[in-house]
Amino acid sequence: MSSRRNFRVWRGDRAGGEFSNYAIEVDEGMVVLDAIHRIQAEQAADLAVRWNCKAGKCGSCSVEINGKPKLSCMTRMNSFAPDATISVQPLKAFPVIKDLVSDVSWNYEQNKKIPPFKPRARGADGKHRMLQRDVDRVQEFRKCIECYLCQNVCHILRDHDKKNSFVGPRFMIRLASLEMHPLDSADRLPAIKGEFGSGLCNITRCCTEVCPEHINITDNGIIPLKERVVDRFYDPLLWLACKFFSANRRS
């Protein structure tokens, strides 16, 4: 059961580009990435697209399909009307390299700034012990496949281009996965408030909506981090206590 379908695919590079039209045969069960591959094999051999696993596990094939950020390997062709033209373009929040491939290296730079995991000592028998209920929420964050769709829709990064002040939702949940790790003993809260910019997130939940792993980024990750920052830095009683004890130490 194949049918002829129309595509508009953005072609170009840093210097600029435009949409090109392609019509191809689409078979039952195909996803948008299959269609892109068919265009490549039959009509545009040098059409650039990034992909790896084709099973929603690696997060390489992120693009914008009809304006919505998606994994192209998990977007089925039968989710569109049979006569609809499907437009595919690269992620908007990052610079384009070529065609559908964008330069996501900024994300790798952010990750490197995050202070690494620092485990507490092992038990007397040489083993670490953690209960499943205590790791459930960390495991939710660790499902992240680094597709950067959340980074792409974050207003702070996309519309306001505040890439120097906010690490974005992906790295807020990476920070949350470290801060809530039962074995971790490092303190990242000053950095979360400072250079990572937790205060900039205004909780519109756009990141949570596009997450292909259904991670509750805002409610389970970012908001608890914001609360921890508030408790530490804006709690008046704690603030007084700190003043008092540090004054004591000085004397």
Partner 1 sequence: MADISEIQTIEHDVVVIGAGGAGLRAAIECSERGKNTGLVCKSLLGKAHTVMAEGGMAAALANVDHRDHWKVHFRDTMRGGKFLNQWRMAELHAQQAPDRTNELEEWGAVFDRTPNGLISQRNFGGHRYPRLAHVGDRTGLEMIRTLQDYGIHQGFQVHMECTALNLLQDGGRIAGVLAYWRESGRFVIFKAKAVILATGGGGKAWRVTSNSWEYTGDGLAMAYLAGAELMDMEFVQFHPTGMVWPPSVRGTLVTEGVRGDGGVLLNKNNERFMFNYIPERFADETADSEQEANRWLEGDRSARRPPELLTRDVVARAIVAEVQAGRGSPHGGVFLDIASRRPAEFIKKKLPSMYHQFKELAEVDITSQPMEVGPTVHYFMGGIRVDAETQSSTLPGLFACGECAAGLHGANRLGGNSLSDLLVFGRLAGLGAADYVDKLKSMPQIDSDQASQGIKQATDVLNRQTGKNPYLIHEDLQEMMSKQVGIVRQEEDLKQALKELERIHKDVAEVKAHGASQYNPGWHEALDLRNLMIVAEATARACLERQESRGAHTRLDYPGERDEGVSFNVIVRKSERGMEVCREQRSAPPAELERIAHLSIEALEAEVDQEARNA
Q: Which is nearer to partner 1, 55 or 247 (CB)?
A: 55
Q: Smaller CB distance to partner 1: residue 128 or 243?
A: 128
Closest approach, Cβ 74 to partner 1, in A, equals: 5
111 Cβ contact partners less than 8 Å away, ≥ 6 residues apart: 171, 174
Q: CA 73, CA 82: separation in Å to the nearest integer?
A: 19
Minimum Å gap between C-beta 6 and partner 1 is 19
CB atoms within 10 A of CB 188: 18
Toward partner 1, which CB reaches closer, 52 or 204?
Answer: 52
Assigned token pair, 163: 């890439």
**Nearest-approach distance from CB 209 to partner 1, in angstroms:** 16
- Residue ranges that bind partner 1, judged by CB under 8 A: 13, 27-31, 34, 40-41, 45-60, 74, 76, 97-99, 101, 104-105, 108, 111-112, 116-117, 119, 126-132, 135, 138-139, 142-146, 174, 178, 181, 184
**Cβ of residue 13: shortest distance to partner 1, in angstroms?**
7
With H, G, I as helix, E, B as strand and everything else as coil, classify residue 6. strand
User: Residue 180 Cβ, how far from partner 1 at the closest point, in Å?
Assistant: 10
**What would the DSSP string read from start to end of 9-37?**
EEEEETTEEEEEEEEEEE-TT-BHHHHHH
Choice between 11 and 155, CB closer to partner 1: 11
State which residue, 134 or 235, has the beta carbon closest to partner 1. 134
Q: Which residue has the tokens 């004591």?
A: 248
Q: Which of 30, 161, 167, 44 is nearest to 112 (CA)?
A: 167
